[in-house]
Amino acid sequence: MRTNRTATAPAVCERCGDSFLPKRQTKGRFCSAECYRAWWRENGQREYARRGLDRLEELRAVGKDPRATEQAALKRKMAFRNTALQLSDTGRADDDAWAQRASYWHDLAEPRHPEVFFRKPPIRRPLVLAGHGVRIRIDKGTLLVTDGLTHHPQTRRERRYFPGDPRLPSRIVVIDSPNGSLTLDAIAWLSRQSVPLVMIDWRGQVVSVTGLQARSPDTALRDRQIDAQLSGHGFALAIWLIREKLRSSIEALREVPPSRRIEDAVRRIHDLEGSLRTSPPKDVGELLIIEARGASTYFGSWQELPIRWKGTGRRPIPPEWRRMPIRQSLLGGSNRNAGHPVASALNYGYAVVESQIREAIALEGLDSDVSYLHASRPGRAALVFDLMEPLRPLADRVVLHLVQGRTFEPGDVYVSERGVCRLNPELARLVASSVSLESVALGLAEHARGLIEGSSRI
């Protein structure tokens, strides 16, 4: 009787020298995994590193970009596995869905059209960057900005700005770029050109704001700010800020489809705003109660607004994601760790508003530590959060328009183990680039200074 089996000859391990019966798949080089790992540390790792360097020199010698090879593209794709949509049943990330949605939002945030030069000076707009490997450096006296990588395949864009260039951005906002690079001479260059640099983390919180062109310290103005805390000017400013916030909330609700719930919310907020005019509160505690009622009514009216989703058959989503979230009052509650995609988008919008208010306060020469609405704490610029209140509904309008005009997919969101939502970086970039309130922030800070000095009226 014939058989296909053949006798296996003993082999000698290349690491320890012992004889063993090799398995067909190991090709008879090592007797155990421990011997293979030891051999790799001593010999294989160096050998493969040498081959890689030799291959790199070969590509450079013929003028090829090493980053354009298939192996480099595969490594870039694998780099996004840790920031992909959400974990599947087998523990692997759905990179394709994440990359597809990143490309979709990237095209919306940065439409492809030829650059046209007009005689009229262009409007300076913010430049928002996101993803891995954002680079900002100086090259031959110019600012060279390289986009980060958010998906694969993706073509990285480089922007070059000259000193005094009319196309310089009004600010540069970097979102969620943990391994980017920024040179010291680039910071100095941005400061000389009056271009603030804002860094926002993946939670939608402002990490730092540099390059602000502040006025010289004005001790007399600081004294007036402190005097306003003791007199009625500071409390009058706090009342005015909440009144403006309620008015902006009404305007934001008028942007959504009308319904009985929306109309009831508009009426109740209008009554609260009227009560601040006719019978103002006696202290900040009563004012915060009115603000909390307005916020509860405002965000509560969002509950009937639907959110369109597709692709949930392949990737299920929590049922509460199909409706707008319930948010707390920004004065009394914490919304940092968003558990809803819309709440995460709002955090990015508020972070941009915060950076714009910081710049406006610096330009007006105000002391950001002296506040009238938020509690002053060490290391907290409370006046910034005071002046943010009327502008929050303006950022809400941007998110409301986005939610009503687009259909989302599970690939737009990554959920951490703690249930915190992390937006696709290209979606976050779209939200941040859509919130442009520089002129409004400057006017608000100027009016606040006038109220403090007594030169402006409510």
Q: Which residues of 156-175 are buried (b: 16+ CB within 10 A; e: fewer)?
A: eeebebeeeeeebbbbbbbb
CA dihedral for 365, 369, 370, 375, sign (positive or negative): positive
* Residue 217 in this model has a pLDDT that exceeds 70: no
Q: Using 50, 70 and 90 to split pLDDT, how confident is the model at 455?
A: low
Question: Cβ neighbours of residue 248 under 8 Å, at least 6 residues apart?
Answer: 390, 391, 392, 393, 394
Among 93-102, 204-213, 297-306, 338-347, the minimum mean pLDDT is found in 93-102
**What is the 8-class DSSP label of residue 93?**
B
Whole-number Cα distances in Å, 382 to 102, 122, 367, 370, 444: 35, 35, 10, 7, 16
Q: Which residues of 281-294 are buried (b: 16+ CB within 10 A; e: fewer)?
A: beebeebbebbbbb
* Residue 214 in this model has a pLDDT that exceeds 60: no
User: Are 151 and 98 within 8 A, CB to CB?
Assistant: yes
The per-residue pLDDT for range 263-303, each reduced to its tens digit, is: 999 999 999 999 998 998 988 999 999 999 999 999 999 88
- CA dist 302 and 402 (Å) reads 14
Q: Which residues of 55-66 are buried (b: 16+ CB within 10 A; e: fewer)?
A: eeeeeeeeeeee
The per-residue pLDDT for range 353-405, each reduced to its tens digit, is: 999 999 899 888 888 888 888 887 776 788 999 999 999 999 999 999 999 99
Higher local confidence (pLDDT), 184 or 179: 184
Q: What pLDDT, on a 0 to 100 scale, did the predictor assign at position 456?
A: 64
Q: What pLDDT, on a 0 to 100 scale, did the predictor assign at position 117?
A: 44
Counts for the chain of helices (H) and strands (E), in that order: 14, 12
Q: Using 50, 70 and 90 to split pLDDT, how confident is the model at 91?
A: very low
Residue 251: CA atoms inside 13 Å, Cβ hemisphere, count?
Answer: 15
User: Are 132 and 178 within 8 A, CB to CB?
Assistant: yes
Strand 421-423 versus strand 413-415 pairing type: antiparallel
Q: Which residues of 409-430 are buried (b: 16+ CB within 10 A; e: fewer)?
A: bbbbbbbeeeeebbbbbbbbbb
Q: What pLDDT, on a 0 to 100 scale, did the predictor assign at position 388?
A: 95
Whether pTM exceeds 0.85:
no
* Residue 106 in this model has a pLDDT that exceeds 90: no
Among 83-92, 347-356, 426-435, the minimum mean pLDDT is found in 83-92
Residue 67: CA atoms inside 13 Å, Cβ hemisphere, count?
Answer: 7
Q: What pLDDT, on a 0 to 100 scale, did the predictor assign at position 89?
A: 39
H helical segments located in 68-118: 70-79, 95-109
User: Are 336 and 351 within 8 A, CB to CB?
Assistant: no
Query: Nearest Cα to 141, choosing from 155, 156, 160?
Result: 160
Q: What pLDDT, on a 0 to 100 scale, did the predictor assign at position 70?
A: 60
Decide whether 98-112+123-210 matches 219-453 in CATH topology.
no
Query: Nearest Cα to 70, choosing from 127, 163, 152?
Result: 152
How much of the chain, in percent, has pLDDT values that exceed 70? 82
Q: Which residues of 190-228 are buried (b: 16+ CB within 10 A; e: fewer)?
A: beebebbbbbbebbbebeebebbeeeeebeebeebbeeb
How much of the chain, in percent, has pLDDT values that exceed 90? 36
The per-residue pLDDT for range 142-169, each reduced to its tens digit, is: 999 999 988 877 888 899 999 998 889 9
The topology (CATH level 3) of 219-453 is: Four Helix Bundle (Hemerythrin (Met), subunit A) (1.20.120)
Task: Give the pLDDT mean for 235-241.
Answer: 92
Mean pLDDT, the chain, rounded, equals: 82
Whole-number Cα distances in Å, 181 to 90, 184, 351: 35, 10, 21
Q: Using 50, 70 and 90 to split pLDDT, how confident is the model at 118?
A: very low
Task: Provide DSSP, 101-114.
Answer: HHHHHHHHHS----
End-to-end CA distance of the chain: 106
Task: Give the pLDDT mean for 337-346.
Answer: 88
Domains of the chain, by residue range, sit at 98-112+123-210, 219-453
Q: What pLDDT, on a 0 to 100 scale, did the predictor assign at position 336?
A: 63
* Residue 329 in this model has a pLDDT that exceeds 60: no
H helical segments located in 202-283: 219-230, 232-253, 260-278
The topology (CATH level 3) of 98-112+123-210 is: Ribosomal Protein L15; Chain: K; domain 2 (3.100.10)
Strand 172-175 versus strand 181-182 pairing type: unpaired
Task: Give the pLDDT mean for 26-45.
Answer: 74
- CA dist 399 and 302 (Å) reads 12
Q: What pLDDT, on a 0 to 100 scale, did the predictor assign at position 215?
A: 55
Task: Give the pLDDT mean for 160-181.
Answer: 90
Higher local confidence (pLDDT), 329 or 427: 427
Q: What stretch of H or E contains 88?
A: none
